[in-house]
Amino acid sequence: MATKIYLDKRSAKKDGTYPLKISVSYKGAYTLIPTGIYLLPEHWDETSNKVIKHISRTSLNQLVRTRLSVIELCLINMQGKRPKSGKELRTIIERAISGNSYDDEDKCLFCQYMESFMNSRKAQSTKELYAYTLGRIKAYTENWESLTFDDITYKWLTSFSEYLECKTNTVSIHLRNIRAVFNEAIKNDIITCYPFKKFKIEQEATPKRSLLPEQLAMLRDYECEEHQKKYRDIFMLIFYLIGINTKDLFSLTSKNAVNGRIEYRRAKTGRWYSIKLEPEAMVLIERYKGKNYLLSVLDEYGNYKDFQHRMNDNLSEIGPTVRKGLGGKKYREPLFPELTTYWARHSWATIAHKIGISKDVISMALGHSFGCKTTDIYIDFDRDKVDEANRKVIDYINKCRK
């Protein structure tokens, strides 16, 4: 018999990781057994057969060793019986994995598998979402270390949802994260149970998060307090740049300004964007020009999230103030008390639709995929259409009065 662990580089996931598999050869039969682990090439040492330079390398190496031990024990227990085919060999091994050591140690250990899945995600923000869900699962489950996939039933999901005691959309985020882990485990032939066949994830209608053209013009022209102007202006800049993500915006440098355009790759998706710099955007970029970055935000703040929190707080307070009582305490009457940076993107799309921009062009402008890889690349025709649409949207707003 012979077993070998290797990184299968024949097909990569979108995040650039490859599946780690165990090849098994026994009595003329050959099969591949998935480990459920996906790694970047630099995280696998072919010489030592170990996960290296990975944040969860200790637990991942333990998982691999355990899986390998179970397979080798299974082959020993076959006592020389010759399998008819590689498929039969795989079935025998999978039964051993699901019924013996792995059932007790790794296979059904949901939290351990979820941690591995979480660490294989590319975007840090995505990892943080899964970490948040994992934390809630651990807080809810008394013996979370031994929680198995089989333990997560319709009844468990219902009880967990009630335990969360938060808004429906927040609950649905946690449940979708759990479902994604189940889907990954099923895809890798780790499990067969699937409680989401019966359990349906509820979803509330998302509240309106866009401004009317007249409201946007009002915000643009409003005589806000001095400390609020910067936040309001950057909100408008996000709008002029078709709802650019704040992390991407604040990370831009002068190198991203090319021939009158902002060109960059989205941090979250890796998608390439090229947005024409309209005069309205240029004025604001020059006003808040940075030293090391296009804007001064990261020159002044070490973390863009800190600035974004401050920005959202201030955006939601823009509006008239009145003083009441003997002490003259200041009270605010916000124009848009729910306003955040996300509203800029939604507002652009809503206004574009209002003035007759086609859904295809709006989707292209926002970076939505149409299910075809070629549409993920801006060809000149698409770029011109997006440029034209953005100019029309800005012109429409410019005609509005506060």
- What is the pLDDT at residue 376? 43
Return the higher-pLDDT residue of 90 and 249: 249
Provide the mean pLDDT of the chain: 85
- What is the pLDDT at residue 86? 84
Ranges 8-17, 242-251, 266-275, 328-337: which has the least confidence = 328-337
Residue 151 has pLDDT above 50, yes or no: yes
| Long-range contacts, stretch 250-256, CB < 8 angstroms, 24+ apart | 250/293, 250/295, 250/297, 250/298, 250/304, 250/307, 251/293, 251/298, 251/304, 252/293, 252/294, 252/295, 253/292, 253/293, 253/294, 254/294, 256/294
What is the CATH topology of the domain spanning 111-197? DNA polymerase; domain 1 (1.10.150)
Return the higher-pLDDT residue of 189 and 266: 266
Average pLDDT score over residue span 141-156? 89
- What is the pLDDT at residue 302? 74
Amino acid, res. 383 = R
- What is the pLDDT at residue 328? 66
**Residue 384: which of 262, 248, 268, 275 has the closest Cα?**
275
- What is the pLDDT at residue 229? 95
C-alpha 190/C-alpha 370 separation (Å) is: 31
- What is the pLDDT at residue 152? 94
Average pLDDT score over residue span 50-70? 86
- What is the pLDDT at residue 178? 95
- What is the pLDDT at residue 369? 55
- Please give the model's pTM, rounded to 2 decimal places: 0.56
Residue 10 has pLDDT above 60, yes or no: yes
pLDDT, tens only, 85-103:
888 888 888 877 765 433 3
Average pLDDT score over residue span 122-136? 85
C-alpha 312/C-alpha 339 separation (Å) is: 7
What is the CATH topology of the domain spanning 213-398? hpI Integrase; Chain A (1.10.443)
pLDDT, tens only, 367-378:
875 444 433 444
Q: What percent of the chain has pLDDT over 90?
A: 45
- What is the pLDDT at residue 293? 93
Find out whether 44 and 7 touch, Cβ atoms under 8 Å: yes
- What is the pLDDT at residue 377? 43
Longest dimension (CA), the chain: 94
Sketch the domain layout of the chain as residue ranges.
2-107, 111-197, 213-398
DSSP letter at 317?
T
List phi, psi (to 5°) of 36. Answer: 80, 5
- What is the pLDDT at residue 104? 39
- What is the pLDDT at residue 169? 65
